Amino acid sequence: MTSLKVAILCGGYGTRIRDVADNIPKAMIPVGANPILWHIMKYYAHFNHNKFILCLGHKGESIRDFFLNYETNMCDITVTLGGEISYHEKISEAGWDVTLAKTGLHSMTGARVKCIEKYLNKDKNFMLTYGDGVGDINLDKLLKFHLAHGKILTVTGVRPPGRFGELNSDSKGLVTEFNEKPQAIAGLISGGFFVCRKELFDYLNNREDLVFEQEPMRQLVKDNQMMVYKHEGFWQPMDTYRDYTLLNNLYNKGNAPWMIW
């Protein structure tokens, strides 16, 4: 299957989870020993998508530091003072290509995606997701579905905890309605794990308050350019302390469905 670049939105404040960690961005909050962002990237890399563009914002310097010092933190090392650092293991993530992109301290999701257009302008398709959610989505089948229908945007529809954007679609998967965070949820919601054609950028601009899940996605629906890939398996965001506890309990029990690497 084709290897695509993966853009990850990891610049949010995480206001509902500040009781876990207020000094790091939500994407860096750990599940087990490593940030949830790392788990997401490991999942994509398992399907051979290992070129990442991280959309940084709030406390993005901690994400930069994590990757700039990645091998030093992950491996046993010997430091020769005044000389070299020797690494005693080879990391399995060797070969990952990670672009750390400043996308604004206060920018909303649509503006953040627009900011990274220059890193994707030669790519016909790319993947896009959030830096705070994991699942056991079959990314090969997701990409195959996207390439087959030829529309601009594919969103993974999941059956959720609640509080996210509701999707309605026809029998072929064409999205006919999208409601951001409705009061009552009857069916599928947006779980992220998007696949996008480059034409998505025509629906975006650099306006700081542009929310990807509002104007752009609604316009894509109006233009019949948004399809839903229906996922009935595991999906879980880390949006609250309760979510944080759930994910860490799954990890600690060795029952984390997303850990397939």
What's residue 19's pLDDT? 63
The whole-model pTM stands at 0.88
Confidence of residue 261 (pLDDT cuts 50, 70, 90): very high
Torsion angles phi and psi, residue 73, rounded to 5: -85, -25
What's residue 182's pLDDT? 52
Exposure string of 229-248, with b = 16+ CB inside 10 Å and e = fewer, is bebeeebbbbbbeebbeebb
What's residue 50's pLDDT? 96
Q: Which has the minimum average pLDDT: 9-13, 166-170, 223-227? A: 166-170
Task: Flag whether pLDDT at 15 surpasses 60.
Answer: no
CB of 189 closer than 8 Å to CB of 122? no
What's residue 170's pLDDT? 72
CB of 155 closer than 8 Å to CB of 175? yes
CB atoms within 10 A of CB 253: 8
- At 73, which helix (H) or strand (E)? helix 70-74
